[in-house]
Chain A
C-alpha cells in the first residue's frame, strides 16, 4: 500500500505546484445500522490538486464524498479542513466553509432558468437585508448586478451563453451536467466535489467535461475531488488516486502507482487476458 508523501508540497508531472493539506480525513468509519460503509479510512486532499476516488460499485465512494461534504457524519474519525477539526455540521454550514459539489443524479432546480440556477450558487455571497430586497433598492440591486457579472464569467467559461435563459428542465443531459458544474463553481469553492461528472456521457461530452475540469483547476486554482468510473479519464485527469473496495482503502498514490498496485488490479482494474 502506498502512502501519501510526507512532504508538504510536491510538483506534478505537468509541473503544477501542489500546496499543503487542504482536507485531511483521519480514520473515518461510517456505519448504517450494522453495515460498515467506510472502514477506518485516512487520506488527505492537497491544495490545488485533482484527487480521484475510485473503486467498484458499492465500495463506499459516494458515502465518502457525502462525509467530505458534511451530509453524513462519520461515527468514528476526524475530518480536518484547512487546519481545523470540523465538528458535526449542517450541510448548509459546510457550503459556507467553501465546499461545493455536484451530484451523480443531476440535482438542478428544474423550475428555474439556467441563469437563476447558477445564481443560487452565489446565495452565500448575498448579504442584502430583507427590506432592501423587498424594495429592490440599494444593496439588493447592487449585489444582484455584481454577482451577475461573476456568474456571466462562469457562463462564458463553460460556454453556455446561448442557454442562459432556458428553463433547466428543457436541457439535454450533457448540458445539465455542465450547468450543475457552473452552479458549483459560482460559489467560488476552495474544494469542489464531483460525483461521477462523466456518467452517462458520450465520448465527445466526456472530452468537453474533462477539459472543463482541467481548466477549472488550472485557471481558478480550485482543488477538486472526484469520483469516476471511466479509468482512462481518471488516470489522465487526476494527480493522486484513492482506491476503495468494500469500504476499505486498498490503494493511494499517483495514477501510475495505483495502476501497478496488485491489490487494486485484483479488486478493480483487472488484467487483460490474452
Chain B
C-alpha cells in the first residue's frame, strides 16, 4: 500500500471533490477518529485533559474561526480575545438565566450572539484593510474587555467580578462545574471541534468559501465577477465570530470554570490564536489544528523537559519557555511562512512520488 492516487479511480465529480482524495489519508483520518472516540476517553486523566487535550480542542475551534476570517477571507483581526469573551459572558448569562435549557443550546446561542457582535465590529472592514483594520479590531478587543469589567450586569453583580460556571449536564453527564470528569470535558470539546471543523470545511469548499478567497486574493476582481463585498466580508466576520464565540464559551464553561475577563480574554489571547494560525497555516483547516496543537503542546513539552529532565527551577524554566516559543515563531515565519500545513502538504507531495521521484 503506497501513498498515491494512482489506481484509486474517481468516477464522478462528487468523488473528485471529497475531503481526503487519497485512500491512505482517509484511513488515517478514520484511525484518528477511532482513537479519539474509542481509546482516549477511557484512558484520559485530569492532567492530560487539562494540560493537553481540552485546551488543544478549544483553541483549535478558535483558530478555525480566526482562520476563516484571516486565512480565507483575508481580513486581519486582533479582536479574538474580545470575541471569545463575548461567547463566555453570553453563555454565562444564558446558563444562569435559563438553567432548565441544555447547555449545548446555550453554547450554540453564545456563538450566535458573538456572530452578531462580530458582524458589528466587522463593518469597518468595508472601508479599511490590512493594518488599519487590525487596529480597528484591536479597539474591539479593548472595548469588549472594558465593557465586561465595567457593567456589573454581565457578571451578575458578583462581588469578585468573576463569572463562575454552574454545574450542567448533557445526557446525565456533568460537562460544566467542579464535578466534571476528564472524559466528559474532553468528549464535549471533541464533538464541538469535529462538527465545527466539518462545517468549516463545507463552507470553505463551496460558494461562500470561494467568495471569501476571491475577496482575499483580489478584491476588485472579485467584485467585477459578481461578489458583493458587503455580504462576503460580513459573512466571514459572522461565521468566524460564531466559531470564536463557541470557543470562548467552552473555554470558560468547560475548561476554566471561572473567569475574570481581563485575565482570561485579554490581548494575549488574540495574539495566541493569531500565532496558531500563522504557525499552523493560513487558509487551512488542518493548519488550524496543527497550530493549536503546536502552541498548546510546546509549552507543556518544554516544561516537562526543562523542569522534569534537567531539574531546573520552575521560574527559570518558565522564562526559557517564553524565549524558546518566541524564537520558534520567528524561525517559522522566516523558514516556512505558510506554516505547518504547507510543510505537511509538501511532505505529502513528495510521498506521492516516493520511492521513485524521477
Contact = CB atoms under 8 A, between A and B. Distances in A.
B1 interface: no
Interface of B: 12-14, 17, 199, 202-203, 205-208, 210-211, 213-214, 216-218, 220-229, 235, 283
A256 interface: no
A88 to B, nearest CB: 15
A187 interface: yes
B64 to A, nearest CB: 13
Given A120-B210, A133-B202, A148 B17 contact: yes
B350 to A, nearest CB: 16
B224 A91 contact: yes
Interface of A: 69, 71, 90-92, 94-96, 100-101, 103, 107-112, 116, 119-121, 123-124, 126, 128, 130, 133-136, 140-141, 143-145, 148-149, 152, 183-184, 187
Nearest to B72: A111
Contacts of B228: 90, 92
Given A133-B202, A135-B199, A140 B225 contact: no
Contacts of B229: 92
Contacts, number: 104
Nearest to B229: A92
B207 A133 contact: yes
A144 B206 contact: yes
Nearest 9 Cβ contacts at the A-B interface: A95-B226, A107-B221, A109-B217, A136-B202, A126-B207, A148-B13, A124-B226, A91-B223, A133-B206
A107 B219 CA distance: 10
A259 B228 CA distance: 42
A183 B216 contact: no
18 contacts: A69-B224, A90-B223, A92-B223, A103-B221, A108-B217, A108-B221, A109-B213, A120-B210, A120-B211, A123-B214, A128-B207, A130-B235, A133-B203, A133-B206, A136-B205, A136-B206, A140-B206, A187-B226
Contacts of B216: 109, 111
Given A92-B228, A107-B224, A123-B210, 16 more contacts: A90-B223, A92-B223, A92-B224, A95-B225, A107-B220, A112-B214, A120-B211, A123-B225, A123-B227, A133-B206, A134-B203, A136-B202, A140-B206, A140-B207, A144-B17, A145-B12
Best-buried of A95, A128, A143, A187 by chain B (most CB within 10 Å):
A95
Interface centre among B199, B202, B220 (most CB of A within 10 A): B202
A103 B225 CA distance: 11
- Kindly name the residue among A71, A144, A183 whose own CB sees the greatest number of chain B CB atoms within 10 A: A144
A123 B211 contact: yes
